[in-house]
Amino acid sequence: GAVVSQHPSRVICKSGTSVKIECRSLDFQATTMFWYRQFPKQSLMLMATSNEGSKATYEQGVEKDKFLINHASLTLSTLTVTSAHPEDSSFYICSARGVAGSIQETQYFGPGTRLLVL
């Protein structure tokens, strides 16, 4: 199998606070993890790519100091939204990809985290 979990599934926070979202590959080692954001009725937007043990690569227009990504192990990546504001309210989805040549080389998505900043 290729199961990816995310926690929390839903979070409501006050403006100015920081929120941490965890993404775990449960039954495979994820050499690469991807973080996406999706606004209502819009397509997925890739925010950043992280490889275990190295700094994340951010897409153009994504503030790396605002969206902190840590890929500390082959099964865990975290996204921290720092000083969240209402415009950061969105559906955040992680995706994990396993070792090249394995069946898990395909990208598998976590269930997503819905963030609402008041």
Partner 1 sequence: QKEVEQNSGPLSVPEGAIASLNCTYSDRGSQSFFWYRQYSGKSPELIMFIYSNGDKEDGRFTAQLNKASQYVSLLIRDSQPSDSATYLCAVKPGDYKLSFGAGTTVTVRA
Q: Which residues bind partner 1 (CB under 8 A)?
A: 32, 34, 43-44, 46, 49, 91, 93, 97, 106-112
Question: How far apart, in whole angstroms, are the C-alpha atoms of residue 74 and residue 51?
Answer: 9
The CA-to-CA distance between both ends of the chain, in Å, stands at 38
- Shorter beta-carbon distance to partner 1: residue 64 or 83: 64
Residue 15 CB, nearest approach to partner 1 (Å): 24
The token pair that represents 106 in the structure block? 């395909």
Partners of residue 50 on adjacent β-strands: 33
As measured in angstroms, the least distance from the Cβ of 83 to partner 1 is 26
What is the amino acid identity at position 12?
I
User: CA 16, CA 42: separation in Å to the nearest integer?
Assistant: 26
CA–CA separation, 107 vs 118, rounded Å? 32
Q: Which CB, 20 or 111, lies closer to partner 1?
A: 111
Residue 16: CB minimum distance to partner 1, A: 27
Closest to partner 1 by CB, 3 or 13: 3
**Closer of 18 and 57 to partner 1 (Cβ):** 57
Q: How far is the CB of 84 from partner 1 (least distance, A)?
A: 20
